[in-house]
A and B are shown apart, each in its own frame.
Chain A
Amino acid sequence: DAMVIQNPRYQVTQFGKPVTLSCSQTLNHNVMYWYQQKSSQAPKLLFHYYDKDFNNEADTPDNFQSRRPNTSFCFLDIRSPGLGDAAMYLCATSRDSGVSAAYEQYFGPGTRLTVT
């Protein structure tokens, strides 16, 4: 089945120790997204890629970086995790909607990050 895969599902890192979360997709979608979601809150968009074009949200801290080496893979790098960065990180993909805004997002299962 075509899908969005996130590894690892659970990640524990130490305060200040860089960590990388990965996302891959078999849907061949050209748009990929990273969201941060804290308990009982809506997902907060960090950035998205449209093909290789990177789009950063204005309020995304510099501590968060992303790479998309090819269509299938996208990585989230947290350079110096703080306690406030503990959250669920969701990767999503979508087709380019063109004029119509018709296509939904497909989400991965998420990576739950713990910072000790």
Chain B
Amino acid sequence: AQKITQTQPGMFVQEKEAVTLDCTYDTSDQSYGLFWYKQPSSGEMIFLIYQGSYDEQNATEGRYSLNFQKARKSANLVISASQLGDSAMYFCAMREGNYGQNFVFGPGTRLSVLP
């Protein structure tokens, strides 16, 4: 069974500093996708970034980057230059390949950005 672990229930970061949110995963599939979502207090889930298991380069999207270490099965999210609006829950998720439709979510990390 697939599993996602996020070991940091809560994190604090000073505004304008960088922060890394940890995610490790467990799968026996060779083809899979890793996703990060942001959920502000308003409740909507916002897609941030995607990394495919065969991608050799780490994904980047604006201030978001994904530190993908396949051998260690980790997919950490790095947010650079934190902003107050980054305060939210962050979920790491995995989608199995080979026509798999299910997404498995980690328990989430609550990030608080301090002024």
Contact = CB atoms under 8 A, between A and B. Distances in A.
A21 interface: no
Interface in B77-115: 89, 91, 95-103, 105-108, 110
A104 B47 contact: yes
Nearest to B104: A45
Interface in A29-58: 31, 33, 40-43, 45, 48, 50, 55
B103 A105 contact: yes
B107 A104 contact: no
Interface in A68-96: 88, 90, 92, 94, 96
A110 B44 contact: yes
A76 to B, nearest CB: 16
Interface residues of B, number: 31
B84 to A, nearest CB: 20
B18 interface: no
Nearest to A32: B101
Interface residues of A, number: 30
A110 B33 contact: no
Given A48-B101, A101-B97, A112 B43 contact: yes
A36 B45 CA distance: 13
B74 interface: no
Contacts of A50: 101
A76 B100 CA distance: 22
B107 A41 contact: yes
Given A43-B91, A110-B43, 6 more contacts: A45-B103, A55-B101, A92-B45, A105-B35, A107-B45, A109-B44
12 contacts: A40-B110, A43-B91, A45-B102, A55-B101, A97-B101, A99-B99, A101-B32, A101-B97, A102-B33, A104-B35, A105-B103, A109-B44
Interface of B: 31-33, 35, 37, 42-47, 50, 52-54, 89, 91, 95-103, 105-108, 110
